Structure 1
Amino acid sequence: MKILVFGATGSQQFNVILEGKKKGAEVIATTTSATSFEKLKQAGAMPILANMNDANIMQEITKGIDAIAFMVPVSLPNPFDGLQYAKNVIDAAKTNGVKKIVWNTSGWLAPQKIGIPGEDVKLDISDYLKNSGLNYVIIQPTIYMENMLGPFCAPFVKNEKKLAYPTPEAMPIGWIASRDVSAFVVEAIYNDKLKADSFQISGLENLKGNDLAEQFSKGLGEKIVYYTQPAKEFGDILKPFVGEAGAKGVASYYEGLQNATEFPPKFNPNMSEVLEKLPVQMTSLAQWTKNNKVYFLN
């Protein structure tokens, strides 16, 4: 099995390499910078330079590939460009007879367009993939535990014993580890019965803010309290990483959540049904926190 992975230099897709290697796959990982070659090689992948915006390169690198694991970059200056990126990959997969394509959507797809470009474009990508004629699986994860390693969260834990996140305390979330998502992606590649499927996946614990802090405390062995981070504070910290427009868009989304009386679902109560088709050993929040202690303690 030859698997081509997009986005493998980031935390959301990096573990696809490791999970693919466990199955005995040959993994080719794309990157836009040769400085990432060593990291990808050490993980067991063959790195290649490629950008999803180049249709000709996509046609070239998908030759002889059995399966593709892809996601669209989340920090594009113009989020709507993501549709062309995805089209380039999907069209190349079709031309070159790729047997299956698995898309990690970086979040649950909205039921309809909601006016946030980065979310709305995903619905266009979904339609294009479904109409491509390819065998596909769409993996829709909830919020990544790895988000808490970000500069808007980890320093608050380390310096103030506060778990800072811009979701309201009352909003329950089924946080999921990126390793688990990668394992779902690889299981989807190897399950021949899945040819036109979509899964909303979450962790097995549906945690409100204070519950999250309690599990975090268990993992760290220290008392941590939940802090609903103001959306503007979150956006200001995020700005140097994703640009002003990107940070503003994300901050406005969280501001809407903080003013809401009802919250969008971020937990799948039927994960047992998903796990029957995609058997993955799930990671608890406390275990994940324990595994990543070094980021949260002085």
Structure 2
Amino acid sequence: MKILVFGATGSQQFNVIGEAKKKGATVIATTSSEKSFDKLRESGAQPVLGDMSNTSQMIEITKGIDAIAFMIPVSLPNPFDGLQFAKNVIDAAKTNGIKKLVWNTSGWLPEQKIGVPTDDIKLDVKDYLINSGLEYVIIEPTIYMENMMGAFCAPFIKNEKKLAYPTPEAMPVGWIASKDVSALVVEAIYNENLKADTFQVSGLENLKGNELAIAFSKGFGEEIVYYEQPPKEFQAILAPFIGEEGAAAVASYYESLQNATTYPPKFNNNMDQVLQQLPVKMTSVEEWVKENKEYFQN
């Protein structure tokens, strides 16, 4: 099987390469820069330049492909471009008779538009994909454990023994490892019974802030306490990476959470049913921290 992977240079999709290789697949990975070619080759993929705004290029790189592991770029100067990018890929997949498209949505989708462009356009993408005639699976992951590697969190662990995150301490989250999401994506590609399916996925632990810190401490081998990071502090740290406007938008979401009396669900109580169809060994927070301990130390 030939699988085309979008977003393979980022943490959310990179592990799709290895998981697909385990199944014996030939993996073609898109990138916007030849600078990433060596990294992709070393992972076992065949790199190819892929500009999602280029309709003819999308048609060209999807020729001879059996399945697509798809993701919309996370940080776009204009979030509304994400809809056209997705349409270009979906249309190219239809043109070339792709058997299946599996979309990692980078988060649980809202039930209706909420006025946040990055979330709202995903609902438009979902409608377009459903009506495309393609076989598809949509994987909606909850919050990634890899978020804790961000500049707003990791330095606090090393320097202050604090796990800094802007979610309220009282809000439970089913943190999920990106490698597990990648494995779920690949299982969805290979499951021939899945043709028009959507899965909201999470880790198997539903942890409040202090519980997360305890699990983190077990993996890290030192006591780490939870620090409910003020959204403005989070925004200031994030801004150099994604811009002032983007950071302000993300921070406003976390500010709304800290002012809320009820919290949005970030845990799937029925993951056992999901794993019956997508058999993946899920990673606990403790296991993930042990695997990445050196990163947080250095």
Q: TM-score, normalised by structure 2?
A: 0.99
SS of equivalent residue, structure 1 residue 30: strand
1:279 partnered with 2:276: no
Q: Which residue of 2 aligns with 1:125?
A: 125
Q: Which residue of 2 aligns with 1:172?
A: 172
User: Amino acid of the residue matched to residue 125 of structure 1?
Assistant: V
Q: How does 1:162-241 map to 2 (within 5 A)?
A: 162-241=162-241
Q: Which residue of 2 aligns with 1:91?
A: 91
SS of equivalent residue, structure 1 residue 103: strand
Shift in Å at residue 110 of structure 1?
0.3
Shift in Å at residue 50 of structure 1?
1.1
Gaps of 5+ in 2: none
Shift in Å at residue 297 of structure 1?
1.8
1:112 partnered with 2:142: no
Distance (Å, rounded) in 1 between the aligned partners of 2:55 and 2:252: 33
CA RMSD of aligned residues (A): 0.6
Distance (Å, rounded) in 2 between the aligned partners of 1:69 and 1:234: 31
Q: Which residue of 2 aligns with 1:289?
A: 289
Distance (Å, rounded) in 1 between the aligned partners of 2:274 and 2:179: 16
Distance (Å, rounded) in 2 between the aligned partners of 1:247 and 1:125: 24
Gaps of 5+ in 1: none
Shift in Å at residue 240 of structure 1?
1.2
Distance (Å, rounded) in 2 between the aligned partners of 1:53 and 1:170: 42
Shift in Å at residue 296 of structure 1?
1.5
User: Amino acid of the residue matched to residue 25 of structure 2?
Assistant: A
Post-superposition CA distance 1:198-254 (Å, at most 9, x none): 000000000000000000000001000000111111111111111111111101111
Distance (Å, rounded) in 2 between the aligned partners of 1:79 and 1:198: 23
Distance (Å, rounded) in 1 between the aligned partners of 2:236 and 2:97: 45
Post-superposition CA distance 1:92-151 (Å, at most 9, x none): 000000000000000000011111110111100000000000000000000000000010
Q: Which residue of 2 aligns with 1:6?
A: 6
Moved over 3 A (4+): none
Shift in Å at residue 56 of structure 1?
0.9
Post-superposition CA distance 1:70-113 (Å, at most 9, x none): 10011101111100000000000000000000000000000111
Distance (Å, rounded) in 1 between the aligned partners of 2:248 and 2:51: 26
Q: Which residue of 2 aligns with 1:26?
A: 26
User: Amino acid of the residue matched to residue 129 of structure 1?
Assistant: L
